[in-house]
Amino acid sequence: MDPTLSDEEVCWWLGVFHTDGYIYRKQGSVKEIRLWVGKPSMEMLDRWKGVLDRLTDKQHKVYSVKIYDKRYNTIRYNYSVREGSKKKINLLIDFFGRKGNAVFSYPKTLSEKCFGAYLAGVIDGDGHIQIRKRTYDKSFERLIKISGTKDSELLRLVQSYLERFRMPKGYLVKYDNHSDLWIYVSKKFNRWLFEFTYPYISIKRKFARGSCEL
């Protein structure tokens, strides 16, 4: 375990894992964890791998898989980082347990700084930052959209943390098979994001949309 790894880096890693990560279980035990992304998210995968390397004292490989897309008759590549060592998985379980959170469940005890970094990981993994014109005066507004399952515990958790830190919690929209959390970014919220979240966003296009002037 790298002692120079900050709590914020770890919480960012956890946010990515909870949105885009995959857990393979067999007979009640975790056999493998994996992050699987397309090319547009390689910046996130590279950073996630770097943190995992430091958490486990192990150099992980990036695997590429060729996929045929029938809809468009094209070939594309996906990329993944995997950890299947029982010893290393137990190391992660022990580490997060000592921090007061579990690697395989959503964190309930994050500080404001750690939640800001966790939110950055969630946005990197399953979030979008949108800029659009307002209908009533044609000025621009910024919104954050985070997608989740239909009854998403993660989205409700994000709302509860935002409310705890006196930030707008947004609103949930439920569809047949998923939910979206929409949050309007006010000036106050944007200042908070600049302090606690934007510095940890790894995907450049998302950082650019979040940090640009309107």
Cα 128 from Cα 122, distance rounded (Å): 10
Cα 119 from Cα 108, distance rounded (Å): 13
What fold, for 112-211?
Endonuclease I-creI (3.10.28)
User: Residue 12: CA atoms inside 13 Å, Cβ hemisphere, count?
Assistant: 25
- Number of H-type helices and E-type strands within the chain: 7, 8
Provide, for the chain, the percentages of residues in helix, strand and coil under a 3-state DSSP scheme, each rounded to the nearest 5.
Answer: 45, 30, 30
Query: CATH 3.10.28.10 occupies which residues in the chain?
Result: 7-98, 112-211
What fold, for 7-98?
Endonuclease I-creI (3.10.28)
According to DSSP, residue 200 is labeled G
What pTM was computed for the model? 0.93
pLDDT range class, residue 139, cuts 50, 70, 90: confident
Q: Report the sign of the C-alpha dihedral through residues 71, 72, 77, 81, in that order.
A: negative
pLDDT, tens digit (0-9, with 9 covering 90-100), for 27-52: 888 999 999 999 999 999 999 999 99
pLDDT, tens digit (0-9, with 9 covering 90-100), for 46-72: 999 999 999 999 999 999 988 887 887
